[in-house]
Chains A and B, each alone.
Chain A
Amino acid sequence: MQEENSFEMTNTPAETAVVDPAEKKETEISDGEIAVVKEEKKKPKKKKPKKKVIEVNGLGVRFNMAEQKVDSLKEYFIRLVHRNLKYKEFWALKDVTFAIRKGDRVGILGLNGAGKSTLLKVIAGVLKATEGTVSVKESVVPLLELGAGFDKDYTGAENIYLYGSMLGYRRDFIREKFDEIVKFSELGDFINVPVKNYSSGMRARLGFSIATIVDPQILILDEVLSVGDAKFKKKSANKLKKMMKSGVTVLLVSHQSEQVRSICNKAIILDHGRLIASGKAEEICDRYEEICSAEKTK
């Protein structure tokens, strides 16, 4: 039997409702119904729970860590003949199950190497799940690494079109928003300079401006809240806050519980690829701090 850590539940993760397999199947067919059924089991809520926009079911991601990197043909064949093609398997994520409802702001906590970034990459569609399923119902804007899609020989202006089209924007849409992007990035005349001559702050500013020009339904943040100088930092934080107020779903990766407390209403903790806790942000942050201090005294 599998636990379902769904965020509409008010109980602590230790008491997460156990869903029987029959019901589990139903979840896949019609999640609208099942949400109502579950609600009847517990104390009735005033508000109807919003629809699930991200569902992660038994997610596992496996990496093959070749002990020695075999990337030449000759070496590959030698090893094949000698039956020496051994890989060390490594599960970056294992049995992760949760669901996120519309408008939730979810913090993903965990120490280094807990699998936070891997989880975001799977949700953003960059990585494929080895097992389990991930379904994302709405448009995602990942702010994973700002300016990752830039071409360094291209000018800022040209990169707006390139990066915009990578995020799936339409051309006329980008053209329409072009001035707004340039203005927000505060690049001024530098917009016609090749990106290779930009400082890292300028690059991040441009990346941030392009990615946030749409009103995404799901925003993925990987500790990018600190972009540029103090002034731009404030500006970008304001923009994000404005987006959050408009009911966007947020996924934030962090290993600082303060950040999660201030932004999120829900949180989960990952540890060595496993989901160990999920629930309200405050409770989970407290628990995370406990874990951290326990780790320190070890």
Chain B
Amino acid sequence: MLTAFKNFGKFRYLLYELIKKDIKLKYRSSILGVLWTLLEPLLTMIVLTVVFSGLLGKGDDNFPVYILCGRLLYSFFSTGTKTALKSIRKNSSTIRKVYVPKYMYPLASTLSSYLIFLISLIVLVGVALYEKVNMTPAIFGAIFPLITVFFLTLGVGLILSVLDVFFRDLEYLWTVVLMLIMYTCAIFYKVESLKSVTNEWIFKINPLYSLIVNFRNAVFGRALDMYHFWYALGFSAVVMLLGSFLFYKKQDKFILYI
């Protein structure tokens, strides 16, 4: 354990370099560059608002802000897990020749997605101010879902990155699962307003939905929902433990398969 920490100290510059590389290369050949981090969620918000704004009634939360809260969290989870999933195979040529702690790759890709996500929160602040959403001290509650979503994404990403080494199909399978997760996140509608709520359990077991609910609660000045709080926290902790364990157990086998 101690050597693991020492090793991390030695390679923390690598972590920094990998994150820098991810972000730099992502926007290298585009003219607007890092501005896309802000433009992309803003434009999707506009599209979703134009199409779906009838789904919320009067007296409900402000629609553009409602959408943004859901979409930003979901898109971080989706890009974070997708890049982590590919991280080991993408760096296979390096893994085969230079020794570095392998968890650096999924960790760096999740961290760089997280950084981009944090930057894109500026859009949310801007839109909330523009739409004159009443912000109260409850906004500080947003810290909990924001931290939990990182560990949820990292944990799921670790599991996926390990499995992907052994089963290439996972990449395609995961896009389907992500779609299911997206539709059960209630990004542009309210669960309560669905005609039939017979399948409400499907929302209840989606940890990302729990996070989004609490994130919205914080943004709109409400108290956190304790069921969703504990469920998301517990789920993330389990996934983190499982992911770390699986990664630790299987990492020496990677080189034989990539």
Contacts and interface: CB of A to CB of B under 8 A. Distances in A.
B249 to A, nearest CB: 12
Contact of A166 (B94, B169, B170, B252): B94
Interface residues of A, number: 30
Given A73-B167, A126-B97, A151-B25, A162 B252 contact: no
A83 to B, nearest CB: 19
A124 B167 contact: no
Given A73-B173, A158-B21, A165-B17, A149 B256 contact: no
Contact of B16 (A73, A165, A168): A165
B168 interface: yes
Contacts of A161: 17
B93 interface: yes
Contacts of A148: 93-94, 96-98
A162 B21 contact: yes
B94 A149 contact: yes
Contacts of A126: 95-99, 255
Contacts of B173: 73
Contacts of A145: 97
Contacts of B169: 72-74
Contacts, number: 70
Nearest to A130: B252
Contacts of B170: 73
B178 to A, nearest CB: 17
Given A72-B167, A127-B255, A151 B21 contact: yes
A72 B169 CA distance: 6
Most chain A CB within a 10 A radius of its CB, from B95, B99, B170, B256: B99
Interface of B: 10-11, 13-14, 16-18, 21, 24-25, 28, 93-100, 166-170, 173, 252, 255-257
Interface of A: 63-64, 71-74, 76, 124-128, 142, 144-145, 148-149, 151, 153-154, 158, 161-162, 165-171
Given A74-B169, A158-B24, 6 more contacts: A126-B95, A126-B98, A144-B98, A149-B94, A154-B24, A166-B94
